[in-house]
Structure 1
Amino acid sequence: MSFAQEYSDEKVVEESNKFYADEKAEVPQDLPLEEEEIENSKIEAVRLVIPVTDDPSLPVLTFRFWIFSLFFGAIGAIINQYYYFRTTSGTFPMFFVNFATYAMGTALARILPTRSFTIGGFSMSLNPGPFNVKENAMIYIAVGTAAGSAYAIDILVCTDLYLNERMNALGALILLITTQCLGYGMAGMLRKYLVYPAEMVWWGNLVQVVFFNALHNTDEFKAKRMVRGWSYMKFFWVVCGITFLWELIPQWVGPGLVYFDWICWIKPFNFDFWALFSSTAGGGIMSLSWTWTSINGATLWTPLYSQLCSYGGAILSYWIVLPALWLTNTLNAKTYGVPLSSHLFYGNGSSFDVTAYLESDNTLNEAKYDAGPPVSMTPMYALNFFYSFISLGACVAHIAVFHGREVLDTFRSISHTRNTEDIHTKLMKVYPEVPQWWYAVFYVVMLALSIVVCECYGLQLPWWGLLVAVIIGWALTFPICALTAITGNGPGLNVITELICGYMLPGKPIANMTFKCYGYMAMYQCLSLLSDLKLGHYMKIPPRAMFVGQVWGTIVGAVFNYFTMIIIINARRPYLNGTEADPNGLWSGYQSDIYWGSALIFGALGPKRMFDPHGSYGFVFWGFLLGVVLPPMLWALNKKFPSSKWQKFNVALIAGGMSSFPNGYAIGILPSLIVCVIFQWFIWKYNRSWWKKYTFILSASLDTGAALTGLMIFFFLGGGVSPKLSVEVPSWWFNHYNATDENFPNYPYLDVNHCGAADGLWTGGITDK
C-alpha cells in the first residue's frame, strides 16, 4: 500500500477532481476555465490548500527581512525560554509575528526610500517594492528557527541548577549554535527524498500556507467569504479576539481552570484519588482543561488516525496502567509519594542526591556509591523508557514493512528520472538549487566547533564519542523524518542516545547529556529544517534564501536563549532547583528535572546498574523487541484483512503517547481528544465543505489568541518588562494562590497540586503506602 493510499484516501478522495467545481461562487471570475484541469498534487489535503501558481520576481531576503527577523526572533527566543521554566506550555505567537510583520512591512513599503546601500560589495535596496507573501513567509521561517528553547539549554540549566557550575558565554554559545546547526548538512543530503516527493506532506505547513495566502489575499482567497460574508482576515481577528479575552481567565485570573481535576472533589482528602485524578502529579484521569494552550490548533487538522493512536496510548498508560500499578503498589509505587516523577529515590522513598557521590570532575565515585543503598525510580518513569524503546523500534519497523518497497522505488526514481516530480517540484526548478557542497562545508565547520567545545569546556565527551553521536543521528534520521512527514508525529533519539552513551562512558552524567544532545539534535534539527524546506517548497521560496534564513535564525535564537536563561535562573533559582515550591505553581524546573534524571540514570549510575537484566527494571530492553515485532504482525493482519485497516494502528505513535508525561502535568488528553473527534471525524464526515473552508484559519486564530494572551501576561502582568508591572489576582477558588492560609480554612486541598490535601492531610488511601 502506498503512502498516498494509506494517509490520504480518506481525505476527500471522491472530491479530488471537483475542488473548484463545488465552490463556483468562490472562484475569481478572472480565472481561466481550464483551472479545474490543471496539474495538481496527488495528495488531497495539498490539493485543497496549496496554490499551483508562482511569481519568481518577488524578492525574499530584503532589508525588511533582516530587520523583522532579528527583532521578532529575539522576542520569540526570550518568550519561549521563559515558558521553558513555566508549568504551562505556552508558546510565542508566530501568527502574531506574521500579522505584525505584514502590517509593519506594508507600512515600510510606503514610507521607505527606494535608494540602495552597499556593504562590502553587497548592494540592497531599502524598499524593493510591496511587502510580498514570500517575504512574509521567509520572516516566519527565520523567526521560527530563532523562537524556541534550544535543546542544549538543558545542559547549561542542569549543570547550573544541580551542580552549581556555569559555562562561560563563549562556550555556551558555541554549544547552542553547533547543536542546532549539525542537522543542516543532513537535511541537505535528504531533501530529495523527504521534501520533493508529494507523499512527504509535512502536515503542519498546510495551515501556514492557508494563512499566508489569506493574509496577502492571493489567488482564490480574493473571493472567498466566511460566515456573514466576512473575509478570511475578519474571521481570523474576531475569533482571535474572543480567544484572547477568554484566555485571560485560565492563564491569569483562574489557573485552576488549566488543571480542572473535577473528580478529585468527590474525595479531596483521599491519597489514591489524588494520585489517579490529579493532572499535576498523577494520571489526570478524565481531567479537563479550559485553556486552548493545552489543546492547540494542530488537533484540528493532524490526521485522525495519528491523533487517535497518540491519545489512545496516553489513555492506556495514564488511565489504565498507572492505576493498576498504584493501587496494587507494584514495584513499591506508593513509596515514592507521587506516581509520576523523573527524580531518583532510595528504597525508603527519600530523594537521591547524586552530588554526594561525585568526584571533583563530576564523575561517579563507584566505590562510594556501591557502598550505599541502591537507587530506584517510580514504576511509571521506568515504563517511560520501555515505551520509548518500543516507539523507536516500531518507527523503523513500520517504515520498513509497510513502505520499504516504495521507499526503494522512490530512491531509484529520484536518482534516475524526473517523472515522479509533482507540480510544486516542477515550479521550483526555476530557482538555483543550494549546492551540496554548501551543506557539506557547513556541516564540517559545525562538527569541528562541536569537537572544540566538547574537548575544551569540561563536557566529559571525547571527540570520538561525539562522532558516535552524530553517526547515530545519521543512521536513524530517515525513518523518523519520513514518519513525521507522513503522519505528523514521530519518535525522538533522546533515549537511545543516552542508553548508548551510558554503556560507552559510564559514570559521566555531563557526557551523557552532551552525547544525547548532539545525537538527538542532529536528527531533530534535520527534521525541523526539512519541514521548513517543505514550507518553502509550497510557498515557492528560493532554496538559497531558505538556507541563509535558517542559519541566521539559529544564531539569533541561541544568543537570546542564553541570556534569558541566565536572567531567569538568577531570579528564580529556588523554585527551579526544587529547594522551594512556588506558592502559585507557575514556576517549575520540571523540564530540566526530566533531563537531569535521565543523565543520572544513564550517565552517572549507568544502564548496567539501573537496568540490570535480573533487577527490577530489566524489562525495559524488551521494548526494542516489541517495537520491531509488532509492526510486521500488523502488516500480516493488514494483508489478511485489507478492509480492516490494520496499518492505521501505528505502534510508534501509540508508544509515543504512552510516554507523554513522565514528570506529571498530564493535562489536555480528554479535551484534545474531544476536539479531535469533532473536527477530524464528525465535521469531516458530515460537513466536509465547512471543514476545508474553516479548519486551518480557525486553527491559526485560536493559537494566536491564546499565545497573545500569554505574551501580554508576560510583559504587562507577570513582571516581564519590570517587577513593578507584576500584578497578582487576589486569592479565590480557582487560582490556588496561597490557598492554605486562613482565607481557606476548610479547603486545604486547594494548594499547588490543585487536587489533594495540603501538607499531607490525607484521610484515605495513604495507609496503604
Structure 2
Amino acid sequence: MGEKQEHDPEKGIHNLEKAYAGDTVSLEEADIENSKIEAVRLVVPLTDDVTMVALTFRFWVLSFLFAVLGAVIQQYYLFRAVSGTFSIYFVNLATYGMGKSMARLLPTSKWSIGKYSLSLNPGPFNIKEHALIGIAVSTAATSAYAIEILASMDLFLHHQINAFGAIVLIITTQCLGYGMAGVLRRYLVYPAEMVWWRNLVQVVFYNAMHNTEDFKSKKMFRGWSYMKYFWIVCGALFIYEFLPQYMAPMLVFFDWICWFNPFDYNFWALFSSNSGGGAGILSLSFTWSAIGGSTMWLPLATQLSRYGGIVLSYWIIFPIIWMNNTFNAKLYGRPLTSKLYHMDGKGFDVNPLLNKDYSVNEEKYLSGQPATMTPMYALVFMYSFIALAGCISHIACFHGADIWKTWKQTINSADEDVHVKMMKAYPEVPQLWYAAFYVVMVGLSCMVCEVYGLQLPWWGLLVGLALSWVLTLPIGAMVAITGTGPGLNVITELVCGFMFPGKPIANMAFKCYGYMAMAQCHTLLEDLKLGVYMKIPPRSMFTAQLWGSFVGAIFNYITMHVIINARRTWLDGTEQDPSNLWTGVNPQVFWGSALIYGALGPIKMFGPSSYYNFIYWGFLIGAVIPVIQWGLSKKYPKFKWSSFNVAIIAGGMSAYPGGQGIGVLPSIILCIIWQFYIFRFRKEFWSKYTFILSAALDTGAAFTGLFLFIFLQGGISPSLNFEFPSWFMNHHDEDGNAPYKGVNRCGAFGNKWQSGMLPTPAL
C-alpha cells in the first residue's frame, strides 16, 4: 500500500488521507496504512510537512536557555529537603510563547559563508522545531546519576576528581546509551508495537498548541479549543492543589481506617501511609501528584498487574508477616524502612567497621552482631529478581518470535509501520555514527575509571556494560509495550559486590555505568519514537539529543560544585541547617548503599548462612512463571495469558519500602473507570480527552509544587519559608504526645512506641 502515499510539492505535505480521497476504503478499514495500535491510531496524525526545518537559530537559543535552567534546577533539588520537578510541560508552554515572539521580531535576512547560510528567522515557529526543543531540554534537565558518585566522594571521603575528569564521568554515563540506541532502534522504535506510551501525551500536547489540521476540527466541552480546555483545567487544578500540598496535608495521607483505633501499633503498621510508616492499606489520597496522568493512558493490563502486585505484597503478604512477627518484623520499628539493623533491633552503623581504604574489617564485623533488615526490605530484593528474570522470560515467550522476525527482516518490510514509512522522506543516521560514538564513550569511560581512582578496572567496566547490553533489549521491549519495566540498580550492585568485595567506590561506579547505560538508552529510544510520531528528521534528533546531554552534564557539575562548597557542613551532616532546607540525604543514601553492597558485600547479607538466602529463588520463580503462562496460552488460546505480566506484578510488589504507600486505591479506581469503562464503551470521548486532560492535570500539580517551592518553602531564600497556620487538617504535635492529631491520624511513633513498648525480640 506504500505506493499510494502522495507528495504535494507545493505544500511539501505527505498526507495518507489524501491517498484515499477517491477510494471507498477508509483509513480505519485500511489498517495496513495506519498503526496496529488503537491508541496510536486515535491520536497520532498521518500528516507531515517535509518543508519544516527543526534545527533553527531559535532551537539553539531556546534549547540552551531551558537546558541550562533545567539542569541547574534539577541539580539544586538534589540537595534540598523539599524538592520539586522541572516540568517539561512548563518548558513546552514557555518555549511556545518565546518561539512565536522570536518569529515575529527577529530579522529574516540570511548570512552566507561559502555554500552555507544562516537565517535567524527561517519562518514561522513550527511544531517540529518546538518538539525538538522539548527533547533537547528533557535530555538535559535531570540530575545525572554520576553526580551521586562525585558528591559522595567529596562529602564523605573528602576526595575530589578534577573538573575535566568529573565532566567526562558525567558525559560518559549519560551518553553510552546512544550507541546502544542506534543498534536497538530497529527493534525498539520501528515496530508499531513499540509504542512508548508517554509520547502520546506529548504528541497531543504539541498538536493542540500548534492547532494543526487534525486538531482544528476537534472541539472540547462547550466548543472550547484544545488549549482553552487545557488552560482551564490546568488553572483549576493549580488552585486546588494548594489544599493538599500546602494547607491540608492530611488529604495527601488520608488514612481513614486509622481513625477507628489511632493508638494501636498494629493499626499504624498496616494502615498508615505517612513517612514510610506502614503499608497504607485502603488509604486514600486527594492530591493529583499521588495519582498521576499515566493512570489515564497506560494499558489497563499494565496497571492491573502493577496494582495487583502492590495489593498482594502490602495488603496481603505484609499483614500476615507482621501479625505473626515473622523474621521479627515488629523488632525494627518502621516495617517498610530500607535501613539496616543489629540483631537486637538497634540501627546498624558500618563506619566503625571500616578500614582506612573503606573496606570492611572482617575481625570487627565478626566480633559483633551481623547486620539484618526488615523482612519486607529483604523481600524487595527477591521481587526485584523475579521482575528481572520474569521480564526476560516473558519477552522471550510472548514477543521473542516477533523480535526474531524483525531481526531477519530488512527495514523495507511490507508490514512496516506507517509512521516509519513516512520517515523515509529524511536521511537516516548511519549506523556508523552511533558505533563510532559508542566506541569513543567506552574509551573515555575506561580512562576515567583507571585514571581517577574509581577502584573499577577497565575489564570490570566492560562487564557492567555487557550486562546492560544483554538486558536492555528485553527490558526495553517491555517498557515500550507496557509502559513499565525493571531497572538494573539492584542487580548491578549485587554483581559488583561479588566481583569486587570491599570496594564501595567501585560499586558506585559499576552501578552507575551499568544502570545508566540501559536507562539512558531507553530514554533516547523513547525520544526517537517521539521523533517518528512527530516526523522530526533523524539527524536533527541525533544532534538535539547530544546537545542536551552535553549541556546538562556541564551545568550539573557546576551547580553541584558550587552548592557543596557553599553548604558542605550541612550536606555532610557535620552541622544542622537551621532552616532545614538543605540536606545531603540523597548522596548519603547512595554512599550508604555502596558501603552495604560494596564494603559489606552481598555474601554477608545474602550468603548461605544468612537469614535472607531465600531471595535467590526469585530468579527461578521469575523465569518459570512466563513459561507456564505460554504453555497455557497454547492450550487455552482464547484467554490473554500475556496480559498478566509477572515482571510488572513483581515490580508492584517491591513498590515502596522506604517510600510512601499513597494513591494506590484512588489510582485503581481511576484506571478501572478510565481505561476499562471509558476506553471500551466511550472510545470517541477517550481519544478526545485522555491525553490533553492528563497533561493539564499533571501540569497544574507540577506548577503548584514549583510555586510552593520557590515562594513559600524557601526555594529562593530561607526568608521565603512560610508555614500554613495550624488547624485540624495539618496539626502536628511536636512533643509526640498526641499522635492521633498527627497528619495521618495514626500512632506513627508517638511516645507509646518510643518508651519500651515495642514487642520483645525473639532472637
> TM-score, length-normalised on structure 2?
0.91
Q: 2:48 is paired with a residue of what secondary structure?
A: coil
Following TM superposition, by how much is the alpha carbon of 1:233 offset from its aligned partner in structure 2, in angstroms?
Answer: 0.6
Distance 1:476 1:534 in 2: 20
- Aligned partner letter, 2:256: W
1:12 maps to none
Distance 1:719 1:90 in 2: 12
Call closer, same or farther: CA 1:101–1:270 in 2, change over 3 Å.
same
* Pair 1:370 & 2:383 matched: no
Following TM superposition, by how much is the alpha carbon of 1:82 offset from its aligned partner in structure 2, in angstroms?
Answer: 4.5
1:199 maps to 193
Does the Cα contact within 8 Å between 2:502 and 2:599 map onto a contact in 1?
Answer: yes
Distance 2:151 2:299 in 1: 36
**Cα offsets for 1:283-338 (capped at 9, x unmatched):** 12122222111111111000000011111111211222222222222112222211
- Aligned partner letter, 1:405: A
**Cα offsets for 1:538-559 (capped at 9, x unmatched):** 1010111111111111122223
Distance 1:478 1:410 in 2: 13
Q: 1:414 is paired with a residue of what secondary structure?
A: coil
- Aligned partner letter, 1:346: H
Distance 1:704 1:205 in 2: 15
Does the Cα contact within 8 Å between 1:89 and 1:294 map onto a contact in 2?
Answer: no
Distance 1:135 1:155 in 2: 35
1:51 maps to 45
Following TM superposition, by how much is the alpha carbon of 1:747 offset from its aligned partner in structure 2, in angstroms?
Answer: 3.0
- Aligned partner letter, 2:313: S
Following TM superposition, by how much is the alpha carbon of 1:154 offset from its aligned partner in structure 2, in angstroms?
Answer: 2.8
- Aligned partner letter, 2:400: G
- Aligned partner letter, 2:522: L
Does the Cα contact within 8 Å between 1:77 and 1:557 map onto a contact in 2?
Answer: yes
1:387 maps to 383
1:516 maps to 511
- Aligned partner letter, 1:140: G
- Structure 1 residues 206-605: aligned runs within 5 Å: 206-279=200-273, 280-281=275-276, 282-414=278-410, 417-566=412-561, 592=587, 595-605=590-600
- Aligned partner letter, 1:302: L
Q: 2:399 is paired with a residue of what secondary structure?
A: helix
* Pair 1:686 & 2:676 matched: no
- Aligned partner letter, 2:67: G
Distance 2:522 2:164 in 1: 27
Does the Cα contact within 8 Å between 1:313 and 1:657 map onto a contact in 2?
Answer: yes
Does the Cα contact within 8 Å between 2:187 and 2:407 map onto a contact in 1?
Answer: yes
Q: 1:632 aligns with which of 627, 632, 650?
A: 627
Following TM superposition, by how much is the alpha carbon of 1:574 offset from its aligned partner in structure 2, in angstroms?
Answer: 8.1
- Structure 1 residues 13-162: aligned runs within 5 Å: 32=21, 36-37=26-27, 39-84=33-78, 90-116=84-110, 123-160=117-154, 162=156
- Aligned partner letter, 2:184: L
* Pair 1:188 & 2:182 matched: yes
Distance 2:247 2:612 in 1: 43
- Aligned partner letter, 1:143: V
Distance 1:317 1:587 in 2: 34
- Aligned partner letter, 2:718: P
Distance 1:430 1:538 in 2: 14
Following TM superposition, by how much is the alpha carbon of 1:620 offset from its aligned partner in structure 2, in angstroms?
Answer: 0.7
- Structure 1 residues 640-651: aligned runs within 5 Å: 640-651=635-646
Give the superposed CA RMSD.
2.8
Distance 2:63 2:549 in 1: 11
**Cα offsets for 1:697-752 (capped at 9, x unmatched):** 10010011111112212222222223333333233333356x325xxx87345558
Q: 1:530 is paired with a residue of what secondary structure?
A: helix
Does the Cα contact within 8 Å between 1:156 and 1:167 map onto a contact in 2?
Answer: yes
- Aligned partner letter, 2:47: T
Distance 1:263 1:94 in 2: 37
Q: 1:58 is paired with a residue of what secondary structure?
A: coil
Following TM superposition, by how much is the alpha carbon of 1:493 offset from its aligned partner in structure 2, in angstroms?
Answer: 1.3
Distance 2:662 2:572 in 1: 23
Does the Cα contact within 8 Å between 1:260 and 1:289 map onto a contact in 2?
Answer: yes
Report how many residues are paired: 737
Call closer, same or farther: CA 1:466–1:179 in 2, change over 3 Å.
same
Distance 2:741 2:570 in 1: 19
Q: 1:732 aligns with which of 727, 746, 763?
A: 727
Following TM superposition, by how much is the alpha carbon of 1:346 offset from its aligned partner in structure 2, in angstroms?
Answer: 1.2
Q: 2:174 is paired with a residue of what secondary structure?
A: helix
Call closer, same or farther: CA 1:730–1:558 in 2, change over 3 Å.
farther
- Aligned partner letter, 1:392: L
Q: Which runs of 5+ in 2 are unaligned?
A: 1-16
- Aligned partner letter, 2:367: A
Does the Cα contact within 8 Å between 1:90 and 1:293 map onto a contact in 2?
Answer: no
**Cα offsets for 1:452-496 (capped at 9, x unmatched):** 222232221111111111011111111011111111111111122
2:758 maps to 766
Q: 2:598 is paired with a residue of what secondary structure?
A: helix
Distance 1:440 1:185 in 2: 6
Q: 1:611 aligns with which of 606, 609, 622?
A: 606
Call closer, same or farther: CA 1:121–1:573 in 2, change over 3 Å.
farther
Does the Cα contact within 8 Å between 2:271 and 2:281 map onto a contact in 1?
Answer: yes
Following TM superposition, by how much is the alpha carbon of 1:245 offset from its aligned partner in structure 2, in angstroms?
Answer: 0.6
Does the Cα contact within 8 Å between 2:100 and 2:124 map onto a contact in 1?
Answer: yes
Tell me the percent identity.
60
Does the Cα contact within 8 Å between 1:343 and 1:597 map onto a contact in 2?
Answer: no
- Aligned partner letter, 1:91: T
> TM-score, length-normalised on structure 1?
0.90
Distance 2:116 2:18 in 1: 43
Following TM superposition, by how much is the alpha carbon of 1:622 offset from its aligned partner in structure 2, in angstroms?
Answer: 0.7
- Aligned partner letter, 2:520: Q
- Aligned partner letter, 2:708: I
Following TM superposition, by how much is the alpha carbon of 1:584 offset from its aligned partner in structure 2, in angstroms?
Answer: 11
- Aligned partner letter, 1:283: A
* More displaced 10-residue stretch of structure 1: 691-700 or 258-267: 258-267
- Aligned partner letter, 2:627: P
Distance 1:120 1:589 in 2: 53
Does the Cα contact within 8 Å between 1:93 and 1:704 map onto a contact in 2?
Answer: yes
Distance 1:67 1:638 in 2: 54
Following TM superposition, by how much is the alpha carbon of 1:160 offset from its aligned partner in structure 2, in angstroms?
Answer: 4.6
Q: 1:285 is paired with a residue of what secondary structure?
A: coil
Following TM superposition, by how much is the alpha carbon of 1:342 offset from its aligned partner in structure 2, in angstroms?
Answer: 1.8
2:4 maps to none
- Structure 1 residues 652-691: aligned runs within 5 Å: 652-691=647-686
Does the Cα contact within 8 Å between 2:253 and 2:743 map onto a contact in 1?
Answer: no
* More displaced 10-residue stretch of structure 1: 124-133 or 77-86: 77-86
Following TM superposition, by how much is the alpha carbon of 1:162 offset from its aligned partner in structure 2, in angstroms?
Answer: 4.8
Distance 1:270 1:223 in 2: 58
**Cα offsets for 1:124-148 (capped at 9, x unmatched):** 3111110000001001111111112
Following TM superposition, by how much is the alpha carbon of 1:49 offset from its aligned partner in structure 2, in angstroms?
Answer: 0.9
Following TM superposition, by how much is the alpha carbon of 1:364 offset from its aligned partner in structure 2, in angstroms?
Answer: 2.4
Distance 2:734 2:373 in 1: 30
Does the Cα contact within 8 Å between 2:74 and 2:85 map onto a contact in 1?
Answer: yes
- Aligned partner letter, 1:273: F
Distance 1:665 1:589 in 2: 20
- Aligned partner letter, 2:428: E
Does the Cα contact within 8 Å between 1:79 and 1:711 map onto a contact in 2?
Answer: no
Following TM superposition, by how much is the alpha carbon of 1:674 offset from its aligned partner in structure 2, in angstroms?
Answer: 1.6
* More displaced 10-residue stretch of structure 1: 330-339 or 367-376: 367-376
- Aligned partner letter, 2:738: Y
Distance 2:293 2:100 in 1: 27
Distance 1:561 1:95 in 2: 21
Following TM superposition, by how much is the alpha carbon of 1:520 offset from its aligned partner in structure 2, in angstroms?
Answer: 1.0
Distance 1:756 1:118 in 2: 73
Does the Cα contact within 8 Å between 1:740 and 1:758 map onto a contact in 2?
Answer: no
**Cα offsets for 1:580-631 (capped at 9, x unmatched):** 9999998776655654454233211111111112320100111001010010
Distance 1:165 1:292 in 2: 42
Does the Cα contact within 8 Å between 1:326 and 1:333 map onto a contact in 2?
Answer: yes
Following TM superposition, by how much is the alpha carbon of 1:90 offset from its aligned partner in structure 2, in angstroms?
Answer: 4.6
**Cα offsets for 1:423-459 (capped at 9, x unmatched):** 2111111111111121122112211221222223222
Does the Cα contact within 8 Å between 2:581 and 2:714 map onto a contact in 1?
Answer: no
Q: 2:26 is paired with a residue of what secondary structure?
A: helix
